[in-house]
Structure 1
Amino acid sequence: MTTPVIELSGASRRYDQGRAALDEVSLTVRAGESVAILGPSGSGKSTLLNLIAGLDRPSSGSVTVDGVRVDQLGEAASARFRRARIGMVFQFFNLLDDLTVADNVVLPAELAGMARGEARRRAAELLDVLGIARHARAHPGRLSGGERQRVAVARALMNRPALLLADEPTGALDSAAGEDVKALFNELHADGQTIVTVTHDLTLAQACATRTVTIADGRIARDVTRAVAR
């Protein structure tokens, strides 16, 4: 058995005195898995992602990522942990338009204290592998949606994270760019990257995930491991 990258044990999240956004969820994700988290709006998908990323804390239970109890980290320690161990990809890219593509990709490494020369070499390597090296000196606003998402993935991989978290990575893309991102995620998974993707896109889950976890009313309703459709 491979080592767990994510372990949630009885994790719940309640806001005020209302219904639990996440209710007694236990989940293990092992190294090398590609997991899609599915469910309708309000089901608890985003809450689950935020707990794993250390952006929120459970009201009860525990959340361990790459051997660290992220639910016990303070705000500053949590930010350092994300920079070093978790890569995040968002629906709307979150790129800085006043920086070049290369500078966007380098930024997480600089924040983590990587030497500038090493960071530049790592960024160039990622841009080449992801097929966007020719855009290194361009600004993100000049790129297509699919290209910008590739830049976002390069940035997320900059510090060689144990875990890649993706929040609706095809949500802002047209169908052609969405297919491009699906191919990219399959390549990353084939290279051994552990990926957890929150998505409404069933075709993304079917194409890229080896496991689908369906959330309903804050609980895991279904957890299915299967082969990736090629």
Structure 2
Amino acid sequence: MIEIRGVTKSYGDDRPALDGLDLKVAAGEALAVLGPSGSGKSTLLNLIAGLDRPSSGSVAVDGLRVDRMSESALAKYRRSRIGIVFQFFNLLDDLTVLDNVLLPAQLTGTPRGASRRRAGELLEHLRIARHARAFPGRLSGGERQRVAVARALMNRPSLLLADEPTGALDTASAADVRELLTGLHADGQTIMLVTHDRALAAACATTTIELVDGRIAGGVR
């Protein structure tokens, strides 16, 4: 699903954010990327999402060379191949839960009937259907993160990327999201999560790496 070869990313300072990184993630795997702030975790996620480009090396996802794509191709790739869950949800507060979840399907031109059926299935599966007509500001942090996950899964992505998905949550909500991600992986979803939360990594991940100074420290486990 993911194949990274010899990737270096520099921003013009002395130490690169990523330094000759090699990494493979199989379809159906759940990978957790741990490491201190500044270790290169977010840079790695951004390269896989096509939000940034490597200084050298190659990034392939689902058979596509992401590092070689045009901006228009990258936009299509992000709409159709990956889903992204952010630390602070990034929901649109003036849209209802249902409309937030429907947004990715609208961007790809999915027929309204099919998209509403898909959204309804996701909201039921993630146990937030009762909030379909509510606005995000009325929900708890854990509920908002469930909405964000539903939105990320709307277009049936091959890969789900999660950037500190429990970082803004209280203990109970974080446990709720851990359960959610574990269930999604059990259903066959390929997941890559960047986190400081070792409990999340232990609960959800089949493979864990730790980045230090842009390199994998201590191997893959």
Pick the TM interval, shorter chain: over 0.9
* In the alignment, structure 1 residue 51 sits paired with structure 2 residue 47: yes
State the distance in 2 between where 1:52 and 1:166 align: 12
Structure 2 spans left out of the alignment, 5+ residues: none
- Superposed, which structure 2 residues align to 1:5-24 within 5 Å? 5-24=1-20
Report what 1:81 is aligned to: 77
Contact 1:11 1:23 in 2 (8 A): yes
* In the alignment, structure 1 residue 102 sits paired with structure 2 residue 98: yes
State the distance in 1 between where 2:220 and 2:214 align: 17
**What TM-score do the two structures reach when normalised by structure 2?**
0.98
SS of 2:4's equivalent in the other structure is strand
State the distance in 1 between where 2:128 and 2:200 align: 22
Report what 1:228 is aligned to: none
**What TM-score do the two structures reach when normalised by structure 1?**
0.95
Q: Deviations over 1:130-187 (max 9, x none)?
A: 0000000000000000000000000000000000000000000000000000000010
Q: Deviations over 1:173-219 (max 9, x none)?
A: 00000000000001000000000000001111111111111000011
* In the alignment, structure 1 residue 165 sits paired with structure 2 residue 172: no
Query: Letter of the aligned partner of 1:223 in structure 2?
Result: G
State the distance in 1 between where 2:202 and 2:122 align: 26
Contact 1:211 1:223 in 2 (8 A): no
Computed over aligned residues only, the root mean square deviation of the Cα atoms, in angstroms, reads 0.8
State the distance in 2 between where 1:135 and 1:213 align: 36
Structure 1 spans left out of the alignment, 5+ residues: 226-230
Report what 2:188 is aligned to: 192
Aligned residues: 221
SS of 1:169's equivalent in the other structure is coil
- CA displacement at 1:222 relative to structure 2: 2.8
State the distance in 1 between where 2:104 and 2:63 align: 22
Any runs of at least 4 consecutive aligned residues in structure 1 with deviations exceeding 3 A, and if so which?
A: none
State the distance in 2 between where 1:188 and 1:223 align: 26
Query: Letter of the aligned partner of 1:139 in structure 2?
Result: F
Which residue among 52, 59, 68 is the counterpart of 2:64?
68
Which residue among 127, 137, 148 is the counterpart of 1:141?
137
SS of 2:219's equivalent in the other structure is strand
State the distance in 1 between where 2:158 and 2:142 align: 24
State the distance in 2 between where 1:220 and 1:99 align: 41
State the distance in 1 between where 2:87 and 2:73 align: 25
Query: Letter of the aligned partner of 1:45 in structure 2?
Result: K
SS of 1:154's equivalent in the other structure is helix
Report what 2:208 is aligned to: 212
SS of 1:222's equivalent in the other structure is coil
* In the alignment, structure 1 residue 93 sits paired with structure 2 residue 89: yes
- CA displacement at 1:17 relative to structure 2: 4.6
State the distance in 2 between where 1:18 and 1:94 align: 33
* In the alignment, structure 1 residue 32 sits paired with structure 2 residue 28: yes
State the distance in 2 between where 1:40 and 1:32 align: 26
- CA displacement at 1:223 relative to structure 2: 3.4
